[in-house]
Amino acid sequence: MPHIKPWLTFTEWGKKYGDILHIEVLGQHIVVLNSLKTAMDMLDNKSTIYSDRPILPVGGELIGWKNVTALLPYGDRLRRHRKNFHNVIGTRAAMGIYNQSRRSRLADSSSVCSKKPDQLEAHVRHTAGAVILRISHGYEVKENDDPFVDVADRALDQWSRVTRSWRLLVKAPEWFPGAGFKRVAREWHDTLEEMVSAPYKFVVDQMVAIIYSFANSPLSAEDEHVVKWCAATLYAGASDTTVSTINSFFLAMTLFPDVQKKAQAEIDAVVGPDRLPSITDQDSLPYIGALAKEALRWHAVTPTGFPHCVSEDDIHDGYYIPKGSVVIPNIWFMLHDPEIYVNPWQFNPERFLANDGKKPETEPRTICFGFGRRCFSFTGIHLVEASVWLSIAMSLAVFDISKTVENGIEIIPDVDQSSGTISHPKPFKCSIKPRSSKAVALIEQDANY
C-alpha cells in the first residue's frame, strides 16, 4: 500500500488495471476509484450504503481524531454536527455575518505581508486561523505566537504525519519492537485534546456561548461533546484547506503572470483604485471567480479525500464490493484527468468561463470537496469558497506577485505537494510587492476598520 503520494501510484495502477482497483491488506478490502463517473455512481447515487467511515486504529482511535465531523460514523451524532454547521455557516446568508471581520483580517495580513513577503506561508496560516477562530469561538488571535493557533498547527501536522502510512501493530504491547508509536500516539492525543478543549474553555471562562449559535444554553455532557468537536472540526478543517489553496494561488501567480495581469485588469475596471474588492463584487468579477475555481482544481487539497466505508454488500458494474470495504476516490487524478480538463497541468481560469459558444469545463467543486453525503458541501464549502475568493481578489488588487531573483538569476518554483490527507504545496519563494502607494494606504485603512 503506497504511503508517499499514494494518488500517483493509484493513477499508474488505474492506467494499467482500470477505473476500479482492489487492494487487500491483511484481510482489509480497499477499493480505489480512478473515474469521476464511477465515483459519482457509487458514492453519490448509492450514498445510503457508501456514507460510513472506516475505523482508523491509530489516527482515529488512539489519537482521537475519530470525533471530528469528517470521521464520525454515519448516524445521529453526525446529523447533529451537520445541523450545527448549517446553522452557523451553511448558507451564503449566514456567512454574510462574518464578511467585515474576515476582510479586516485579510487586510491586516496583507499589511504585514507587504513588509515581510518572505514569511508568506506564516502570514496565510495566521490569517486563516484568525478568521476561523473568530467564527468558531469568538476568539481574537494574538499577532504573534498565539497559543491556540500554535497548538492547532502542531495537531494538524501530527494528523498529516500519521495519515502518511498505515500503522498495523495497534494491538501490540509498547515494548514490542516497532510498537513505540503508541507512546507517540499518547503524546499526539494530548496535543489534539488541547486543541479541542483550550479554545472551548476560553469561551466558557468568558461566560458566552460558542459564537453564533453553536450553543446558547447549559449543556449536557453529550451536547458539550458535540459543540466542542464541531468547533474544533470547523477550525481544523476550514483553516488547513484554506491555507493550502491560498498558498497554491500564490504559486500559480508566480508561474503564470499572464493570468495575474488579466485578473488585475478586471479588478481595476470593475472595482477601481479607491477601494478594495468585497464579497458583494463576486457577480461582477467572473474572471476572479474562475481563477478561484482553478486554484481549487489545480492543486488538490485532499488528493484522496476521506475514505468511505461500505455498510452492506454491493454489486457495482459486475464487481462485488464486500461490506466493510474502504473506498478511496482518487480526487487528484479526477482533477487532472485530460478527458475532463483540457491540458490539466496548465493554470487556466478561462476553462470555467463560457467563451465563443464553448461550455465551461466540469465544475471542480463536484470533485474537490468529496462525494455523497460525506462531502465537504455539508459543512464548510461556503466558508472555504468565500475565504478563498476574497483572499484572491484582495491580494491581486494590492500586490504584484512574481518570481524571486537571486544573484541575477530568476528562481522558478517547483510544482510539488506534500503527502497527507490535507496536502500543501511544497515551500517556494516568490516576490510580493505592493502595486502602488495607494494600494498600501487601502490595506492600512481596511486593517484598522
Q: What is the pLDDT of residue 261?
A: 97
Domain residue spans of the chain: 6-447
pTM of the model: 0.87
CA atoms within 13 A on the CB side of 425: 24
Predicted local distance difference test score (pLDDT) of residue 52: 93
* Through-space distance between the first and last CA atoms of the chain, rounded to whole angstroms: 52
The answer to whether the CB of 30 falls within 8 A of the CB of 328 is yes
Whether 210 has a pLDDT exceeding 50, the answer reads no
Give Cα 265 to chain centroid, integer Å: 28
Could you give the CA distance from residue 314 to residue 31 in angstroms, rounded to a whole number?
Answer: 12
Tens-digit pLDDT profile for residues 14-66: 999 999 999 998 888 999 999 999 999 999 999 999 999 988 888 888 888 89
Residue count (the chain): 449
At 212, the pLDDT band (50, 70, 90 cuts) reads very low
Assign a CATH topology to domain 6-447.
Cytochrome p450 (1.10.630)
Range list of H helices, 54-119: 76-89, 92-95, 99-115
**Are the beta carbons of 42 and 327 closer than 8 angstroms?**
yes
pLDDT at 166: 44
- What are the DSSP calls for 239-283, one per residue? HHHHHHHHHHHHHHHHH-HHHHHHHHHHHHHHT-SSS---GGGGG
CA dihedral 398, 113, 347, 269 (to 10 degrees): -10
pLDDT band at 209 (very low <50, low <70, confident <90, very high): very low
Name the band, by pLDDT with cuts 50, 70 and 90, for residue 290: very high
pLDDT at 100 over 80: no
224-257 confidence digits (pLDDT tens): 888 888 888 888 877 788 889 999 999 999 999 9
Residue predicted with more confidence, 178 or 293: 293
Tell me phi and psi for residue 47, to 5 degrees. -65, -20
Q: What is the pLDDT of residue 449?
A: 54
State how far the Cα of 263 lies from the Cα of 294, in Å rounded to an integer: 13
Q: How does pLDDT run across 430-447, given as a tens digit for each residue?
A: 999 989 888 878 877 765
Say if CB 11 and CB 3 are below 8 A apart. Answer: no
Mean pLDDT, rounded, for 295-316: 94
175-205 confidence digits (pLDDT tens):
555 556 778 888 889 999 999 998 888 877 7
**pLDDT single digits (tens) 397-424:** 999 999 999 988 999 999 998 887 888 9
Paired residues of 28 in beta bridges: 25
Among all chains, which residue has been given the C-alpha cell 451537520? Answer: 82
CA-nearest of 341, 396, 391 to 368 is 341
Contact of 311 with 52, CB cutoff 8 Å:
yes
Give the pLDDT mean for 2-24: 93
Q: What is the mean pLDDT of the chain?
A: 84
Residue listed under C-alpha cell 465537504 = 376
Which DSSP symbol is given to 64? -
In 3D space, the residue among 119, 107, 129 whose CA is nearest the CA of residue 391 turns out to be 107
Q: For 102-138, what is each residue's pLDDT tens digit?
A: 656 665 556 556 667 677 888 888 888 888 888 777 7
